[in-house]
Amino acid sequence: MAENRAPNVAQIDRDLFYKLASDLSEERLQATMALVTELSQLPQESPEWNYVLNRLMKGLSSNRNGARLGFGLCLTEVVFLALQKQVLTDIDHYLRLLLSTLSKDFMKNGKEERGLLFGKLFGLQVLLNEPLFSHVFKSAGPAGGELNLDFTLEYAGALIDVAVSKTWIRESSLYTLYQAVEKLAPLLTSSKSLNAVFELLDSKSLTLTSEGLAIYLFLLHRCHATCKTARLDQLVLRSPWKNNDPLKRGNLPLIANALKEANVSEDSSLKQKGVWAPRLHFVWEVVLSCLFDDGNSGLEPKEPSSKKRRKDGDLKRENIGFPEFWKSVVDDSFFNEKSSSERKYLGLLVFERAFQLSPTQTTSSIFSTNLLRCIINQSSSAERNLHRISQKTLASIVEVCREQPEKTAITFEALAFGENGSVNFDQLTKSKTITTLLSNKSLRPEHLITIVEILARNLLGNVGDLAKTKYSLDTMLHLVRAHKSNADKIWIKPCFSVLTQLGFFQTQELPELNDGEQQKQVVGPVAIERLYSVLADLISVEQETSAVCWPYVALKKILSKQKTQTLLNPIDEELNEIFTDSLAELEKISKRLSKDKSNAQLRALQLLFSINILQAFSGEADSVSVLEDLIAFSKTLYDDGENESYAGFIEILLSLAAQKKALLRKSSMIIWESFVSQVSTEDLSVLLDVLSARENKEGFANLFEGVSEDENETGDEDLEEGEEEEEEDDVQDEESMSEDASDVEEKSDSDRSDYSDNGTERIDKEAASALAKALNLPDSMVDAKGEVHFDDLGDTENEDEDESAEDLDDEKMMELDGQLSEIFKRRKEALSQIPTGSKRKQEVKESRKDVIAFKHKVVDMLEILIRWVEGELKQDSSSQPNVLEKITHVIVPLISCVRTTMDRPLAEKISKLVKNRVTKLKLLSSQSYEGYDQEDTIALLKKVHELMLVKKPGQFQNLYFSVCSSVSIFLAKLLIEISPSMVTYTALLEIYNKTLNEWFKTGKFGVSVFIEFLNWLSIKKQQQIPN
């Protein structure tokens, strides 16, 4: 027996098969290379070839995670090597070996059946990998390069057999067939081969399935090689498709059934899929691409220029258009009210892909009725089954528009103004879809102008619909805010055009409005408000980026429209002269600016004139007086060539800063920054006086109304006295403040009650007197105070008994009724004017709030001044003494404001300004201070120390004393810079010594004030103080 034993043969390393099933791709690749290398060294007769092929095929049925990937990769190389070495005679040999090895005869249970079927599928997929693909699907011999049709059909039949065996493997198996057809398409160059493929599908009842439809559409429409070959009139098919083309009109019902896997043919033996998969079938990619690429957009073609073009147009009209496909196949099928949640889920996936692939001209048709209803309903509540996928769909809309910004305008119009959309889309879906769309930073001017045109169309066409009008105005404002950094006249001017049209002019196209009253009362003010907001955002952009004065651009729009249209607020003849002069002065400024574009003051005046003229056009009465002052200021500044004081100009800026409109507040800061270098120390007093104003109703009246204290009503005086007491108590002690404040409130409530009673009594007397006159009662019954003595009525009646008049007729009764109604109406209005306790409290609260806000703006203006001073000091110019004088002039008012204010944010704001900017100013050599008065600085330092020793340091004592200490050190440094001598140090020591004595007696601040000074003095001592 030993003699008959076969000689020893080399054996493949068995461990390599275990590595092929590894989860690591690199390990699988290394095992494949090692196995193929070992196998290539074996002779053709070696039994290891059969072992390796059999082991690899069986390994494809393994359930291990990486087994099919590793064994499939290795099998590709082994089969190719076996064909080369003639181990396998031909590829048919491999197919027979694969099917026999993985035959159902070896199946014991359902789990093994699943493994065997997937093993067959992976074994067939091996042939689509290179280098096997090019070797087995092409004919050998002289006709090499042509399609091996017999093997192709055999291969396709094997895939179809796997597909029809179980529904859960059908899609995967037929997708492999689709991939094979896709790769073989360049070889399908004859009608015979196409007929064979289509007949195979029809014989297996696959024509009206999703996969069959995908193969049909690919060969007939997507593949350029087969499109030319597929002469439909030459194909002899039993296809149920009309004209053998699924995209021909009349095939919509069949397409709809195919895409939802409904058995169309009654004799079909193909089982329907019983498992729902939450992913998009590959057929949709093919269908959508065909509809979009073939130009089946549903739009009417342009006028043909030749018979050939006319014929092509007719052929296109014979095909199904995308809008009708979408409505019939998707909207009415997937999003029908009776559709299941699973179908709607798939429908949303279809929408996401269609929206991504669609050309711009067909995008609007995607947002169909049922689809949008589904998205809105499912997004509105987290309890809905499809809430998460609907939110994901909305996010995908935003993402696609970010990548394809040309779709943004169409999408916005469909969601907000389309037949199926709503201006409340974001509220209904509880998302920020439209808001995010319009904020897309990838939008360019050509995209933005399209959006503006959509808004303009809906604004001018739906002014009667106030909800849409307000939404459109708000959206336009949001659009400008989101893209103000890229503001361009290309799309900003159309915004101004529609806003000025609605805000300033009567819209002739709206006959449903009664004499424009609705526009004048509702639409006009809202449009003007949005225009001001738009301008506020535009002027807040850095001036370096654009030299455009946007309010001037808006004003030019109004002036051009005024020539042909009627203003909502006509200009009186008395004001016409002021308007004319203002516009003339503005034109002079604009001409000067065109010659000197770098002149910041000219640009500021252009801005100031434009804004105030806009306000005058909108009917603001205060703007007229401002224009008069501006005209005088401009003429003095440029025409006369001299201007002694800027105080009046600063008052104009303060009036703008005090307004509630953001445009006026922001513009006042921009203009102030342009003129700050021209302002003198005396002019600054206009600003500093605001900081000393009382933060109550009296202070409000003095600042904004110009009302003196003795002109206030009695109730107001009592209330303000109570507030004074309250403020004093706040300064001393917070607890006593609250107690005294409550006493003040009780006293004020009592005073207000007495005032209210007196007012009511007075109104009742006036009403009684008017009634007596209306009823023709004798004059003797009404005394000098207006009181009616009804007790005398009896005597009067006895005296005039003989003169009893006849009953009043109907006409006199009607006249009397009108008089009585008017009397009672006036009484009701008068009673409503009597301020109640809560109303007066609210007025006081608002007055305090307005005064504090005004002080904040003044501090902002002073911060601009200090920034300018920093720049001047860095330039080491000869004007530094004057500059320092401005800084020292504002120190005491700032410190005093910290002490007197009741608002912590204001106190902290001033503290940061003083400590971080004023006291950090870099002082230069003493040569720059020639002419600067040292005595004034010493006096200022003494004043600061006096302020530290006041009995009432205010509510925010720590901030107050910290500011005083920092300013004191700053002034000490300034004195040393001016005169670095021992005399100066001695003067400083005397001031601090005096303060130390007073502090020991009554001072309320901590010792840190002196420690900071001693630390600074110690540093100076080490630097050798000069004698």
Instruction: Find residue 505's DSSP bridge partners.
Output: 567
Q: Which long-range contacts (CB under 8 A, 24 or more apart) does 61-66 make?
A: 61/102, 61/112, 61/115, 61/116, 61/118, 61/119, 62/21, 62/115, 62/119, 63/111, 63/115, 64/21, 65/23, 66/21, 66/22, 66/23, 66/24, 66/25, 66/28
Model confidence at 789, in pLDDT bands (50, 70, 90)? low
Instruction: Compare 520 and 697 and report the one with higher pLDDT.
Output: 697
Cβ proximity of 648 and 686 under 8 Å? no
End-to-end, the C-alpha distance of the chain in Å comes to 126
Highest mean pLDDT among 462-466, 814-818, 889-893: 889-893
CA distance 1005 to 998: 11
131 upstream amide cis, omega within 30 of 0: yes
Per-residue confidence (pLDDT) for residue 440, from 0 to 100 = 93
The residue to which tokens 């040999």 are assigned: 93
User: What are the two backbone dihedrals, phi and then psi, of residue 25, each rounded to the nearest 5 degrees?
Assistant: -65, -35
Query: In this structure, which long-range contacts are made by residues 932-936, counting pairs with CB atoms below 8 Å and at least 24 apart in sequence?
Result: 932/881, 932/884, 932/885, 932/978, 934/975, 934/978, 934/979, 936/885, 936/888
What pLDDT is stored for residue 180 in this prediction?
92
For residue 626, which of 662, 656, 661, 601 has the smallest C-alpha distance?
656
| Mean pLDDT of all residues in 329-354 | 92
Minimum mean pLDDT range among 120-124, 142-146, 181-185, 601-605: 142-146
451: which 2 tokens? 């959006």
The pTM for the full model equals: 0.79
What φ, ψ does residue 620 adopt, rounded to 5°? Answer: -75, 115
Least-confidence region, from 24-28, 695-699, 762-766: 762-766
Return the higher-pLDDT residue of 688 and 934.
Answer: 688
Q: Give residue 231's pLDDT.
A: 59
293 C-beta neighbours (distance < 10 Å), count? 12
What pLDDT score does 608 carry? Answer: 94
- The confidence band for 193, taking pLDDT boundaries of 50, 70 and 90, is confident
Q: Which residues are 371's β-sheet partners?
A: none
Three-class SS of residue 440?
coil
Tokens of 342: 């699973």
CA 841, distance to chain mean position in Å, is 38
* 546: nearest Cα among 489, 605, 482, 614: 489
Cα-Cα-Cα-Cα torsion 75, 81, 83, 88, nearest 10 degrees, comes to -60
Identify the residue with better confidence: 742 or 754.
754
CA distance 50 to 73: 18
Q: Which of 640-644, 819-823, 831-835 has the lowest mean pLDDT?
A: 640-644
Q: How confident is the model at residue 544 (pLDDT cuts 50, 70, 90)?
A: low
Q: Which residue has the higher pLDDT, 824 or 271?
A: 824
What b/e string do you get for 500-535 counting C-beta neighbours within 10 Å, with b at 16 or more?
Answer: bbbbbbbbeebeebeebebbeeebbebbbbbbbbbb
Would you say 519 and 568 are in contact if contact means Cβ atoms under 8 Å apart? yes
* pLDDT surpasses 90 at 368: yes
Contact status, residue 487 vs residue 543, Cβ threshold 8 Å: no
How far, in Å, CA of 610 to CA of 626, rounded? 12
> Which has more confidence, 842 or 5?
842
Residue 552 has pLDDT above 90, yes or no: yes
Q: Convert the pLDDT of each residue in 394-425 to its tens digit.
A: 999 999 999 999 999 999 999 999 888 999 99
Write down the pLDDT at residue 728.
43
pLDDT at 711 over 50: no
Amino acid (1-letter code) at residue 161: D
Average pLDDT, the chain: 81
Angle between helices 550-562 and 573-595 (to 10 degrees): 130
pLDDT at 398: 96
Band the pLDDT of 265: cuts 50, 70, 90: very low
Residue 103 DSSP code: -
Residues 611, 659: Cα–Cα separation, whole Å: 13
What pLDDT is recorded for position 473?
A: 94
Cα radius of gyration (the chain)? 46
Specify the residue for token string 């057809």: 181
Share of the chain above pLDDT 90, in %: 37
Q: Is the pLDDT of residue 933 over 80?
A: no
Residue 745 pLDDT grade (very low, low, confident, very high; cuts 50, 70, 90): very low
Question: Which residues have CB under 8 Å from 187's CB, separation 6+?
Answer: 137, 138, 146, 147, 193
Please check whether residue 936 is in contact with residue 888, taking contact to mean a CB–CB distance below 8 angstroms: yes
Answer for the pair 292, 362: CB distance below 8 angstroms, yes or no: yes
CB 599 within 8 A of CB 592: yes
Per the model's pLDDT, the better-predicted residue between 459 and 823 turns out to be 459
Tens-digit pLDDT profile for residues 288-324? 999 987 655 544 444 444 544 444 445 556 788 899 9
DSSP state for residue 43 in the 8-state scheme: -
More confident residue, 100 or 233: 100
Distances (CA, A) of 2 to 7, 8, 48: 10, 12, 22
**Whether the predicted pLDDT of 234 surpasses 90:** no
Evaluate if residue 33 carries a pLDDT over 90: yes
For residue 1027, pLDDT over 80 is answered with: no
DSSP class of 325: H
Confidence of residue 1025 (pLDDT cuts 50, 70, 90): low
Mean pLDDT of 147-173: 89
